[in-house]
Structure 1
Amino acid sequence: MIHLVLLSGGSGTRLWPLSNSSRSKQFLKVLRDEAGNHVSMVQRVFGQIRKVPADVDITIATCASQEYSISRQVEGAYTLVLEPERRDTAPAIMLACANLALEQKADADDTVIVMPIDTYAEQAYYDGVVKLDEAVQSGFAELVLLGVEPTYPSEKYGYIVPETPEGDLRRVARFTEKPNENAAKQLIAQGALWNCGVFAFKLGYLTELAAKYLPVNDFSQFRDRYSDLPKNSFDYEVVEKAGSIGVVPYSGEWMDLGTWNTLTDEMADASAGRVVIDESTCENVHVINETGFPMVVAGMKDAVVVATPDGILVSSKEASTGIKAQISQAAESRPMYEQCRWGEYRVIDSSVFPDGAKALTKELIVRDGKQLSYQRHAHRGEVWTVVSGAGEVVLDGLVQQVRAGSVVNIGKCQMHAGRAIGSDLHIIEVQQGEILAEEDVERFGEFWEE
């Protein structure tokens, strides 16, 4: 049995404003499948994994904010392991392996292969898990990596330097992290491979390492003490300390679609949304408009234009890889739009008044048959105005019917929830208080039984 652990993390800031902390790049449906349907990176990867000629089960290691997106996009059997907090790849992989051993009762001698969930590669890349499994089971090394044969001297990737430049399975001599172009050329001449973040090992190998930090025999205890694990990457915490490391080379298409210049090369369409492009004056331009306003683009070349509720980006494709500082300065600290298990919300306005009072206005759309969790806020009150649809609202255990025109006042620390009945429920929510943050919520499950 091969246990495939897929890591799904990251805030997607390099693809701002289309992606954010709640809508990461791997869930954006900007690619197309063989039938021409729009698919996300996650859906493309799962389609390829299903074709691997081996007995493979899947565990997804991710954070709570991505749970809904995964459930909406991934079909078939898989196990979801949620991090209590974000602590880098080493603890995330340890948590997934603890789940395999303690919850799924996997054998200590089974092969575990860790991969990013959003890699853009050929089918042969995913079929390579079979070679990795064979290498692990042969006892060749404690850890076996997958290395990509470089196509150019990249300064963006780390390099795996093998002892010998030939063979289907090579011993690793050392690693070099993001060299300059001249150094990269020398490494490639020595047979070095790109490190693509794929690790293979026997389950028992990692559970023994994790036991040094958390010596528990119960998964819930392991998860409860997650913060005791080192906040470090798997490369630094595990790989660099391994006694023996092997690498299996992969030759074929492999890309990180994490920047606008790489993503637009693979996007199915040059524009999306209310967009008019002057084809006579534009060349190699990609435009995405998620606002309700029309957009006209003219006289641009090798550029990307993106407008969403979170912000607007206009950049050359080349420069888009180096604007992290500018995005950090411009981007809001909270997402302005998010899809949730119950529906979606959009921030309409955020204001601070002369007397210091704060207000935030949101549009909530609760889908028919869905409900908001039973919750309360410590630092704010809310006013709900129903503008469309019908349903029920509960305040401190008392249920009332609501419809278009209904107004509900929710006090600070007051328990409340709402659900849609018969149609989608559209609510304008006005928050008032000293702290208006998504983190100011204490949830108590669902009030109504499904």
Structure 2
Amino acid sequence: LVLMGIEPTYPSAKYGYIIPRTEEQVSYVSTFKEKPDEITAAAYIAQGALWNGGVFAYKLKYVLDIARTLLDYTDYEDLYNRYETLTKISFDYAVVEKEPSIQVMRYHGKWKDLGTWNTLTEAMEDPIIGDGVMNDKCEDVHIVNELNVPVLAMGLSHVIISASPDGILVTDKQQSSYIKPYVDKFDQQIMFAEKSWGSYRVLDVDKESMTVKVTLNPGHRMNYHSHQHRNEVWTVVSGTGKTIVDGMEEAVAPGSVITLQAGCRHTVIADTELVLIEVQLGKEISREDKQKFPLEY
């Protein structure tokens, strides 16, 4: 396992640190720690530490062997079906900190980590993305708005405002590096996600129903799947394509309504970009209530 080490310019608590054994271009690692406090970071830099750039090099067999050891899966299909149940942990924590033999390659060029809100705003060409307004009393303020409602900022300094379907963040720029432990405490329905086939946005959640806007990219489809504990009603808003329900194929267009009973196998295939409203109905609506099936198409 080889890491890319960045020559640090200041003691930051935002990055992991690598202490090489030697000053050579490629060296074995003496110590690796993920995101220490600033005092410890300064001590590491005094010992010749490098920032962990988050770039790893390894043979494919290495990471496959590690994955099988940590995840205990049999094949790709088994891993794919259990993916949502896996423990959420970074490669740094799960693998790098426990690896006994690591090398690091020094990098001396220009480098910037956009992994925090503060560093992201430094790279933004415009202080406002989306529907936002700020008055002339604002100083060093950035707005990132993914909602269809306006955001107004007045008299603020060194602040980031981010609004998305999953939540709203208002933070001092320096404090924005420390949001993770607070966000990790949130346990809520995912309101927006981008997938390989398109995206979905949750519009409404009630006790026994959930309404979702689904957008499929041209030529893409959902997995062929079923649900045991909920019914669904699809209404096509725009685009054309076809549905397959228990093996029966039907063309769909704007205004088409498809009723899906619990237990039926179903998918939708987009010819053009296809937008539909999906209403889920049932007493047990959850992401776990989904069984996937192969589809010969």
State the TM-score bracket (shorter-chain normalisation). 0.7 to 0.9
Closer, same or farther: CA 191–360 of 1 in aligned 2, 3 Å: same
SS at structure 2 position matched to 1:254: coil
Answering whether residue 5 of structure 2 is matched by residue 147 of structure 1, we say yes
2:28–2:103 Cα contact (<8 Å) kept: yes
SS at structure 2 position matched to 1:264: helix
Closer, same or farther: CA 377–327 of 1 in aligned 2, 3 Å: same
Distance of 1:196 and 1:427 partners within structure 2:
41
Answering whether residue 252 of structure 2 is matched by residue 397 of structure 1, we say no
Q: Which position in structure 2 is the counterpart of 1:321?
A: 177
2:33–2:97 Cα contact (<8 Å) kept: no
RMSD: 3.5
Q: Which position in structure 1 is the counterpart of 2:95?
A: 234
Distance of 1:203 and 1:363 partners within structure 2:
38
Q: Which position in structure 2 is the counterpart of 1:29?
A: none
1:374–1:444 Cα contact (<8 Å) kept: yes
Q: Which position in structure 2 is the counterpart of 1:159?
A: 17
Counterpart among 319, 332, 336 of residue 188 in structure 2: 332
Which is richer in strand?
2
- The structural deviation recorded for 1:398 is 2.6
Gaps of 5+ in 2: 83-88
- The structural deviation recorded for 1:350 is 0.2
Percent of aligned pairs with the same amino acid: 41
Answering whether residue 129 of structure 2 is matched by residue 272 of structure 1, we say yes
Distance of 1:176 and 1:208 partners within structure 2:
24
Amino acid aligned to 2:94: S
Closer, same or farther: CA 431–254 of 1 in aligned 2, 3 Å: same
Distance of 1:178 and 1:371 partners within structure 2:
40
SS at structure 2 position matched to 1:188: helix
1:371–1:446 Cα contact (<8 Å) kept: no
Q: Under a length normalisation based on structure 1, what TM-score does the superposition of the two structures give?
A: 0.54
Q: Deviations over 1:188-238 (max 9, x none)?
A: 23322233344556778x489769959xxxxx95657879xxx96222332
Counterpart among 410, 413, 426 of residue 275 in structure 2: 426
Counterpart among 202, 227, 249 of residue 377 in structure 1: 227
2:116–2:177 Cα contact (<8 Å) kept: yes
SS at structure 1 position matched to 2:149: coil
Closer, same or farther: CA 404–302 of 1 in aligned 2, 3 Å: same
- The structural deviation recorded for 1:263 is 1.2
Amino acid aligned to 1:260: W
- The structural deviation recorded for 1:303 is 0.9
Count of residue pairs the alignment pairs up: 285
Distance of 1:316 and 1:420 partners within structure 2:
43
SS at structure 1 position matched to 2:45: helix
Gaps of 5+ in 1: 1-142, 215-219, 353-357
Closer, same or farther: CA 173–395 of 1 in aligned 2, 3 Å: closer
2:223–2:267 Cα contact (<8 Å) kept: yes
Counterpart among 391, 398, 408 of residue 258 in structure 2: 408
Q: Under a length normalisation based on structure 2, what TM-score does the superposition of the two structures give?
A: 0.78
Distance of 1:283 and 1:326 partners within structure 2:
26
Distance of 1:225 and 1:383 partners within structure 2:
30
Closer, same or farther: CA 180–211 of 1 in aligned 2, 3 Å: closer
Q: Which position in structure 2 is the counterpart of 1:114?
A: none
Closer, same or farther: CA 187–434 of 1 in aligned 2, 3 Å: same
